[in-house]
Structure 1
Amino acid sequence: MSTVYTAMHMSDGIVDAPTSVIFGVIAVLVIGVCAWRARTELDERTVPLAGLVAAFIFAVQMVNFPILPGVSGHLLGGALAAILVGPYTGALCISIVLVVQSLLFADGGVTALGTNITNMALIGVAAGYTSALLMYSIARRRTKNISVPALGIIAFLAAVIGTVCASMGFVLEYAIGGAASASLGTVATYMLGTHVLIGVGEGVITALTVMAVARSRPDLVYLLRRSRAARQEAVSV
């Protein structure tokens, strides 16, 4: 049995041309907003980290891990990027990785680039970061100091949520303009089931990476810096 690689990289022809164009336009517009807003997340310290995050995600996405017989997955990186460098910068990092993979390594179709960016760089990042921020805020209400293992748990859960939400983006696109013969119910069941398992692998990698950075340079973790700045603003008010 040949191995099926399924971690959101859509190939050409899975959705029809109008759907590809629509989500291509959405991707361009939203990434443009992210590029503008990323200035609020970056400074002299974090710009090199953003480059390292993009390079790390690119490298790790090339490594597939088995989840079922004949099915493999790989890191999406949305939650990881958002937690470390912020949601806007994180979306840019994932988008750059997807463009390079599509144009230079034929990993993901060129006409499907807009849908892939929408799913992984926009939906995955937004869902991963929002869930991480919500869980971190709840944890902060219970205790002043969040331990590194607790941060790892938050990162793990955020990565699982981001992965599943990104897969549901694919299901939405397929529902709008699916060009393959498989039924929507079959696609939705398959995508949900496999990406819950992929999310576990994603969560482990994300948690280990975030904990490693938090132990050595907690000042570089955007989620921690953002929460600290919000608390200082609340105190000043």
Structure 2
Amino acid sequence: MKFATGAAIFCAGLGVLLVASAPAVLLDAGLDRASAGRFRLALTAGTLWNGQGRLASADSSASLSPITRLRWEFEPSALASVRLRWRLAIDGGTPGILEIGPGGVALQRLALQLPPAVALAAVPHAIARAGWRGVLDVNVPALACTWSGRCEGGLQAEWSAAGVDILPGQALGDHRMVATITAPATTLEITALRGLALAVNGKVELARGRRPRVELEIGGNAPLLGRLEGMLAELRPTRDGERIQIRF
């Protein structure tokens, strides 16, 4: 009996040791599977609990393009509430919080900067692959998702110095996007902060089980609007001088 008890304690201790020293490179494999190969975690160092790496996007040639630097630090105090919590610093900024519990995953006070093409990688429409340029600053005050995929919270993004490869030389201005995410629907509000060749204002509502609701007004110079009108034909745009309206 004493031998069996001692063996159980030894095995439990060995398990804890193995988990505690699990290398950070395991996160790369998990991110690869979760993102269907779109994102990887490169140059990892440390462990699952305390470590660092570079978030990178994988293109069609299987090469990696570094996006941002990540550093994570485990907070043991969260174990008292049956949760796993990390402080997550992005590009050396003020750390946010990543928390995993019985109910799901939560993010708080996260801020990061992304290339627009990376942020649009998951959008199935061909316009997402048009070669978008600029800087996208993303802030996540609070966002929580259950294990079944239902999310609540919000995020804000500001897209500055926007441009697109299919329209060389065209400065598309600066825009703010605010997403309010609830269980029944997600609402995205778009506001032009500094419209140059293009200014987009309006709202998009996405809900499970029904088609999106779109109310957008796009202003800009006539040649650009003419090209956009053809690209967005499936959204049934209407043209009114120097404005395109999309409502359905």
The structure where strand makes up a greater share of residues is: 2
The structure where helix makes up a greater share of residues is: 1
Q: Which TM-score bucket, shorter chain as reference?
A: under 0.3
Q: Tell which has more relative contact order, 1 or 2 (C-alpha 8 A, sep 6+).
A: 1
